[in-house]
Every structure is written in structure tokens, then in C-alpha cells.
Structure 1
């Protein structure tokens, strides 16, 4: 006879944490090794769609796999260098799976929702304000899906998928890279409705696609008038820009909105170029920039590199943090920079400066930040040398009682064009070295083009 098969989805037996129809172990392990504080999903511009009809709708990505509505992917014809007109989403990976992944990783879930605006780089189609209610209701229903009791309407859907307990979602993002008055007036409507029903949910807003210029200045100014809690800033720029902007937040006003560095990656050629590489210059420059984020951790409360994942044969955008094919996955040099920072976080920020009181943020091509982890009893000093010369450093640590030894985790490469690859996935990975800390003093030499994390135990 004849058998018609409607929905086929094949999975390996061994998935992350043994989840049925789960995710690939090796890829998720790379994510887990980052010890992420949060997971932003389902991405950026994908939430908006090229048109409103083609936008990402979370309600169509939950429930039985065979009932989830197929959707053409908004990236199908976005890039002329790699058109993919047959690129569809089955939503086998939907909002439930994203929440589940965040839970498995021990990370806070951070869903991003459309705000009634199609991607402004495409059609920029708008929902009239009078017709915005269904979009706002989607946000309210998502909070119920994530946090509501198992017998609530959307909590029942979560319960039916095998998760009666709430996901305890704390954050929600409204809009991605939107700009202009149309975004501000729509954001205000979302903010009012969410806060009335769920006052404890923290709302993340958008400052637009660029870190400066008219769109950025207008959006940031208007959001502050609305008392926005966290503003999402994005930076895709040259390695030089990242080094030059290590002091970006030193003089930002305090007492208002916090900052989420939601998408950033140094571009070795130019933004959207298919020739961009995950090379060491980009990764090293990002390390220099992140010292500035950490130094201003009272203001910059969340950061995330983007994009996260790319298939060896199925990419349209470079660079990306993790590359994989059907059998292997590896972390780029940028990945190891992120990992060194995320694995050596503190809960107290320590001031670090030159002996004459200057911030270490580019003078002599050196960048630095330092934190203390009172739980582990350690100090972490991050040092970045972006010059082509070795530099001798003398470090005095005040008001702390140190153990006699310290460990240096060193990430370095001789050539700025070096990068990890499937052929050589460990070309740029950290190596360890022991240091002596005598009378709260460290004397060390840092090689050219090097990022170093010094772990110092406290007595």
C-alpha cells in the first residue's frame, strides 16, 4: 500500500540532558561551559518579520510539534551573497524549548517579542495603534505561559507539555532594533499594560540598530522620559571602534535606565560582509571593550555576543560565536574571550587604575578591569595588551590580604589574523601559568596581542 507521512523529525538518541527531541549535546555543552546568566531568544530581527504576516508568533511555536505552523524565515532572501528562498522554520525548536533550554543551563530566560512593527530595514509595516491590543495580549499571555499556575489558560498549555511548575521568567523584551516615534508610542502602550498586570516583570527596550546617531539619540532620550528600566544597545563595528569605546560608559549618567549590551561583535571587514572572520584581532578588541563593560557593571547589567550559532554550510552572516557542522562544533577565539569573562565574574567591582590614578583603558594599548568574588574568595584581574610589544607590569593590590600564589589564564596568538577552525579548533585557547603574589604585589610580563585573567586567592 501507500503511506503518506506528514511530519517527520529525526533526533539522535543522545541529546542534552536526555531530552526527548532535544538538542545536540556537543553544541549545548559549549553553551553550558559559558555559564550564561541569561538566554535571549528567539533572536533579533527574526521576531519582527519582513512583513507583519511573516513575523514570529510565539503561540504558533508551542504545543504538539505537528500543530506548529510552518513559516518562511525572514532571512530567506535578505542577503544577495547567500539567498535561501526555500528557508522555512518548522518551530520544532519553539518557545517552550527555549524556556526549557534556559532552565537546563541555569540561565534566566529573556524572550523578545515584536511590538507591531515589521523590520524597518525591510517593509517597516506598522500595526495601527487602535489595532495593537492583540500584540499586547500576546505579551501578557506569554508571561502567563511562563509564570502562571498550571490551571491558568496558558499555564495549562505549559503543563500539557510536561512542565507544571512555572519558569519564573523575570525579563521580557519589547521590540528589537526598532527606532523612531512609532516605536516609542507602541513601547509605551506595552509598558503600561505589562506593569499594570505584572509590576515585577523587568521590561527591556530598544535604542535602535546603531550605538550613535539620530536614531540612537532620539530613542534613548525618549525611553528615559518613560523611565525605561533597561535599554538594549547594539554594536557591530570595526575592531578599532571596540578598542576606542572601552571608556564608552565611564561618563554615562547614573540613576536612570540600566544598559543591556544585547548584540555586539567586531567586524573584520565591514558589517554584513560575508568576508568577516572570527579572527584574533576581533576577539582581542572585544576583550578590551568588555573590560569597560565590567568596569561599569553598576550600569551595564547584561551583555551578550551575537549571533550565537552558525552552521558550516548554512550561514548568511559572519562572524558568529560557535560554528558547527553535522558532526562537530567548536568555539571561536571570540567564544574563549566570552568564556574567560563569564567564568570569572565577581559580585564586587574593584577599582583598577595606574599609579597616577588614570583608568587603564587604552593608554599604552593596555586595558584592564577587576572584580572580587566573595563566595569563592578570589580576585579576578583582566588585562588586555593590544600592542605588538611585550609589556612589563607591576600590580599592587590594596585593602585585600592575598595568598602567596596566583594563576594566570592566557589567551594569545602571534598573528591578529589567526582564527580557530574545524581543522584546528584549538589554535587559540587559554593556557595556564603560575605567578607569585609577594606582599600584595605581582610582577609580570604580558605578551603582545594577549588577553589574560589573573586569579588571586584571598586569605
Structure 2
């Protein structure tokens, strides 16, 4: 080939590669055969649920409608956190409080005029990061809605104050609307609840201001500001607490078969003395004991007001027709993974020299022998525990765990038994059943499950768990007990729990794991080999994030949603063993989060759903009663098929984790004539596509699929979750699940930064390439020594 043709072909290839986007299709359709004779086991009706816990302002500052942060001045490290004062003298006092469970209050001295303000639950990080922002943390963040009325209340005790108390919403449009609070019922030296209503004239954020005009001193506690249209308002079942409507809707949309609560954050404590029990969370808010969260920090002194108490969780379960799965401690304080390993290291070091301990850290714990600083730091941390003998170790354990056989443990066992009576006891014949009725619910909640521990493991946990198990089964033999199996997917704790729960201690085993995308895709068959005659499995906490993303919000994207969907096909396929699953965490406030892998993000005014939320929505609303065995040999494609023979609907889950569009043929045998096929899918061309507040790029869409009597072809977009519903027999398809009308499924375009840079480079290269091509043509091609006109021109030029 001469130089002219070589360069021409090269230029053509450059232009083609710059301007064309190639979509790969399989040469022939892959076929999925679905045969009625391959119907296998029943699908657990409890398969898809949700876990709720007060983390990242999920409850206080989120689900709970009260806009006041630190409402009772109970933050241990900073009792005036979120409050500011102007023109008054204040001091936090504990003398003669409302009750022993609520010991702190603010003593306020007024000399003329002054205000006390609460900023609400402020954001604490710079946008989409974990970088602390002092400015954000000090910016008022209560959401006021135009035309909405708010109920204000607080408890006061008059010492010698003579004057008025008023309130206003301290925001741009609302601050001039001052409402006086009636105080005629307030007497001296006794706590009195006072209240008023105030309306917002605009949608904006601000603070609650309490204005004092007079002289003297009074005490303030238990401050509340809730929208009158909050979920549960006016309903006698919600006697003490109301909830944020859009967050309740987010849970309701998922149609959870169960709600697990309150998670690790709600059952632990720093010591056995500070360990919470469910009794601290019921009754009037003023009588509840607050607790410091395990997620508290100097930057964000996070407290749990326990406004979202066990009773409220039970009531929410009943409202949403979800089974209640309360979690209680095994009488052990919360121990994170690092704490567990530190205690184990201290135990192993008892009979070791420093040199032997160094060898242990290197050979058994994986420390780098060249990293002397890390080894020294670990040794120092272990030495600080001052565990030098087995006796020292046992004494230390007694500070973090109650011990069976002691009065303290026996009392705790009774607390757990009382919880079951509170949930299920008769209102007329039992003490705790009567208290439940007094709190707003006459009939029993009919609780069937209880979980002991959350992410716990080890010999001390097993010791306490077995004692609690025996005590519960002795009184309530029909209660289903769930046991903890640690916080890692592949650990000895899982094997131990499964072995014991399949034999001497019949229980559901709760596995927890946080993984990455690759782990999920590589372990979709994790449960295929589990013993069908052994313990039943609950995956009470699982999730994965994209660690390669550039900001917090983008860690939950279409790639992670696809990976979860692939993994969830394994849940359905093995639902004869895997009985219950719940993704965590459910909620997080934007720029105030402890985790980035949340289903729903919210700020003071609104919220948005992540791709993973939509993935859970698709699965939980489209699952049959029985599993149908199918096989599919296509790399990167994962499938699950379930059927509801009563309703005559097949649910085909097809997950395409590849970067190519795939075409498939689906053939039915034995199910009758196909009447309607509909695909509810979640997809995006770019794996990194994610949602943000006001920028939804990924949302499910429904599309009708053409079919004949027993088959149809389907195109699976790249990076997609496809839930194909097939109505057959006498079902015309009109009753198939449709997305709630309240869901906004509109999407905006998304192009990742890398792609934008590439496009710019290509656009810039086209004119440059054109100039270069013209230069090459005029200087090289047209003057090349090839055959034809070139030679003739050259000869003419010589003349």
C-alpha cells in the first residue's frame, strides 16, 4: 500500500474513533428458560425489611418531628450545645429536676429583656465531605414551611420571675411574628408544661427564639417545636411523639416486611452503668433518660433523646404492617471492632514478654515488622488497660459486661422479659401491658421476634446470650430469638453462631458485613452451600460503597446499586435459608453523617433517594411466593425468578453488571398464556452516576415489553437492574405494582468529570486534526510519488 492510502486510512480511523460511540451486543440472544416444573421452595415472606437506628440524625433531627436539638440540656460533654443566649444569665443545674431520669435543666436569670435560641440540628461538615465546618455548625437549621403551624411547648419552674414569655421563629420572614405563651398556670417551685402555636409565612431555615421580658429567675427544660401536620399528630396511638412525613413515606414506599430497631447505636453504652434499657425510652418525653451516642465526637456531641423509643418503633411497625424486630443488648456495652481486637491483644499479652508480643503482632495480627511506630503505639494502648493477669482480665470484663449469676444480670434479664410483656401482654391482666395501654395502645403489638446483641461476638457474648436465651424460652417458648454473629462476613463468629443455632440453641443467625462492590459480585453464591437443615439466616446489616469516588454523595451510585442487586438475587435463590435481610443505614442528614452508604439523604427541608434506595424499592415490591430454578451462563448477568401462583405473576430479576447492552430471550413453559410483560428498570450509561439534592440522575422507569403467548425478547441496558413482571393465565396485568404517584422519577443528565475532560480533548483535537490532515494532504499526499496525476503534474511543472 502506498503512503497516500496508509495516511488516508489512518485519518479515517482517527475520525471514526473520535466521533462514534460503540455499543456492544451479543451476536445471538441468550435464552432464559422458565419452566413451571422447576418451582422450588417458598420465598420467605420476611425477606426484605429495613433497619432503623439513631445515627447521622436519623431519628433526632430527622424522623422525629421535634426541631429542637438538645431539648433537655442533657449533652454530657456540652449541656448547652445548640443553644445561644442574649441578655440573660444562665447556668445548667441538676437541683430538683423534673425527674431523676432527666436531671439537667437551664436556670435562667432575666433582668429586663433577653432571648434563648436553639439552632436545631445543624450541618457540621463542608458540603459532600468529612471536613468540619464551624460556620455550618453554628448556622441555624430548623426548617419552617410556608403556611404551616407549629406546636411549641416546654416545661418551666418559676423561681421568682415576673414577666412575659414569648416565642418567634428567627428567620428572615418570620422574626417579626412574636407570639406570647400563656403562663397563668405556672406556679412557683413546681414544673409546669406551657404551650403555644406559631405559623411560618415562608419556606426557610432559622432558629427557635424564646423571648423573656421581665425580671427574676426561672428554670427551663424539655423544649419542643413540632409541625401540627406531622405524621401521627392527633392520633391517640402517637401520644408523645410525631414523625416527619416525607421520611415515613420513604419507609412506607419500601413496603418493609419487618423493621429492625434500634440497632447498635441504641443498645450500647460506655460502661455497664450507662447501658440503656428499653424502659428508658417509653412514656412522656420529660420522663425519658437520654444517652450519649456511640457516634458522638468533640465536633459533634451527638446525643440520643430516645424520643424514638421502643413504643414508637412498635407503633410504626403496626402502621406499616411490618413485623417488629426489637434488638436488646446481651448485657454487654457496645464494643467496636477495634475495641474487641484490643481486648483480645491484652488477653494474649498476659504471659508474653514485650519481644514475644511484638512477634505476635507481626505474625498473627498482620503488623508490619518494619513499622516500629505502629507496634509501639499498639503496645502502649494494650498496656493502658493494665491487664497483667487472668484476674485483671476478668475484672476488666466486669466493667463492660454484666455477669450471669449476679443480681445485676438477673435484673437485666427481667428487663428483657418485661419488654416482651409490654409488647404482648394483656392490658387488663399484666402490669406492662397496662402501661402500654396507658401510653396509647390498648391491644398487644403481637411481637414475634427479639434479637440479642447487634454485631457482638466472642466468649463473653456467647456466655450472656445463652443465659438470656434460656430465660426467654422458659417464659416465652414461642418467641423467635435472633443471635448475633459479629460484624464480618467471613469470620469464625459466623461459623460459631450457625453451629450453635442449628443445634442446642435454635435461633436465627444475624450476619453483618460492610463490603465493597467486588466482594458482592464475587459472592452472589455465598448462601448456595449453606446447610438446608441448619440455622436460618438474617442479614440484618449489609452494604457496600464505591471507595473510588471523589465525594460523600457519589459513594452510593448505580454501580453499587447493581452490585447489591446481583447479591440480592442470591438472597431470593436461597430464601429457604436466608429469611430476613435489611440494608443499612437507612437515613442520614446531609453534611452531618457518620456513614456515606445511606439509602436516603435529607436536609432540613427535603430529601432525596439514592440508586440503592430505588434498588430496594424494586425488589421489595416485586417478589413472588415461590422460587423458580433457572440457569443462565452469561458473564456479568445475574438472575432470580419467583412466582406468585395465586396472582399468576412471574417476577424475573435480571441484573446486568457489564458495560455492554445485552439482548435476551425469555421462554415460559407451563404457566399459561402471557398477557402482559412490564420491565421496571434502573440503569445508567455511567457507573459513577449518583443522585444529589435537586439533581436526580438515576431513577427507575417502567416500560412495556412486547411478547407472544409464551416468550419475549428483552434488552438489558448496561449497568442495569431489571425487574420484569409477567402476568399470565387469567391475570391481565392491571394489578401489577406501579410506582407511587408521590415519587418524582424525572432525571437529569449526568456526565462524569473524566468524560467531560475527554470530550473537551476530543473537541479540541478535531480542528487540530483537520489542520494537520490538510497539511499532510497538501504536503505529503498530493506530492507523493504515486501513480496517476501526481506524476503528470510533476512532469508539467518541470516544463
Distance 2:332 2:707 in 1: 56
Partner-residue secondary structure (3-state), 1:406:
strand
> Residue 149 of structure 1 aligns with which residue?
426
**Greater Cα shift, 213-222 or 63-72:** 213-222
Distance 1:277 1:225 in 2: 41
> Residue 249 of structure 1 aligns with which residue?
527
Contact 1:180–1:218 (CA<8 Å) still a contact in 2? no
Distance 1:166 1:435 in 2: 46
Contact 1:205–1:228 (CA<8 Å) still a contact in 2? no
- Shift, 1:185, TM fit: 1.9
Corresponding position: 1:53 with 2:323: no
Contact 1:184–1:223 (CA<8 Å) still a contact in 2? no
Contact 2:403–2:464 (CA<8 Å) still a contact in 1? no
Partner-residue secondary structure (3-state), 2:483:
strand
Deviations 1:378-429 (A, max 9, x none): 11100000000111111112221132330011100111111111021x3211
Distance 1:411 1:454 in 2: 12
- Shift, 1:198, TM fit: 0.8
User: Which protein is bigger by CA-based radius of gyration?
Assistant: 2
| Unaligned segments of structure 2, at least 5 residues | 1-161, 163-216, 341-396, 730-799
> Residue 166 of structure 1 aligns with which residue?
444
> Residue 728 of structure 2 aligns with which residue?
458
> Residue 408 of structure 1 aligns with which residue?
679
Contact 2:259–2:325 (CA<8 Å) still a contact in 1? yes
The 1:402–1:10 alpha-carbon spacing in structure 2 relative to 1, beyond 3 Å, is farther
TM-score when scaled to structure 2? 0.54
> Residue 388 of structure 1 aligns with which residue?
659
Corresponding position: 1:127 with 2:382: no
Partner-residue secondary structure (3-state), 1:10:
strand
* Aligned equivalent of 1:364, options 631, 635, 638: 635
- Shift, 1:85, TM fit: 5.1
Distance 2:478 2:422 in 1: 16
Partner-residue secondary structure (3-state), 1:7:
strand
Contact 1:276–1:319 (CA<8 Å) still a contact in 2? no
Contact 1:115–1:135 (CA<8 Å) still a contact in 2? no
Corresponding position: 1:438 with 2:708: yes
Distance 1:62 1:39 in 2: 18
Contact 2:498–2:534 (CA<8 Å) still a contact in 1? no
Deviations 1:124-182 (A, max 9, x none): 71212222212211211000000001131111111111111000101000011111121
**Greater Cα shift, 186-195 or 224-233:** 224-233
* Aligned equivalent of 1:210, options 480, 488, 493: 488
RMSD: 1.8
Deviations 1:222-257 (A, max 9, x none): 333434321001120010101111101111101121
Which structure is higher in RCO with an 8 Å CA cutoff and minimum separation 6? Answer: 2
- Shift, 1:305, TM fit: 0.3
> Residue 423 of structure 1 aligns with which residue?
694
Contact 2:267–2:275 (CA<8 Å) still a contact in 1? yes
Partner-residue secondary structure (3-state), 1:457:
strand
TM-score when scaled to structure 1? 0.93
Contact 2:500–2:506 (CA<8 Å) still a contact in 1? no
Q: Superposition pairs for residues 187-226 of structure 1, below 5 Å?
A: 187-226=465-504
Deviations 1:266-301 (A, max 9, x none): 12129xx96871111111100000001011111111
Distance 2:553 2:672 in 1: 49
Distance 1:102 1:294 in 2: 23
Distance 1:364 1:138 in 2: 52
Distance 1:264 1:13 in 2: 36
**Greater Cα shift, 137-146 or 223-232:** 223-232
Deviations 1:59-89 (A, max 9, x none): 0100111010121112113xxxxx5452212
Contact 1:229–1:256 (CA<8 Å) still a contact in 2? no
Corresponding position: 1:397 with 2:648: no
Distance 1:403 1:130 in 2: 64
> Residue 737 of structure 2 aligns with which residue?
none
> Residue 228 of structure 1 aligns with which residue?
506
Distance 2:458 2:611 in 1: 36
- Tell me which stretches of 4 or more aligned residues in structure 1 moved more than 4 Å: 273-276
Partner-residue secondary structure (3-state), 1:133:
helix
> Residue 717 of structure 2 aligns with which residue?
447
Distance 1:66 1:55 in 2: 19
Deviations 1:315-344 (A, max 9, x none): 111211111111101221100000100001
- Shift, 1:17, TM fit: 4.4
Contact 2:546–2:560 (CA<8 Å) still a contact in 1? yes
Distance 1:314 1:294 in 2: 34
Distance 2:568 2:270 in 1: 32
> Residue 297 of structure 1 aligns with which residue?
575
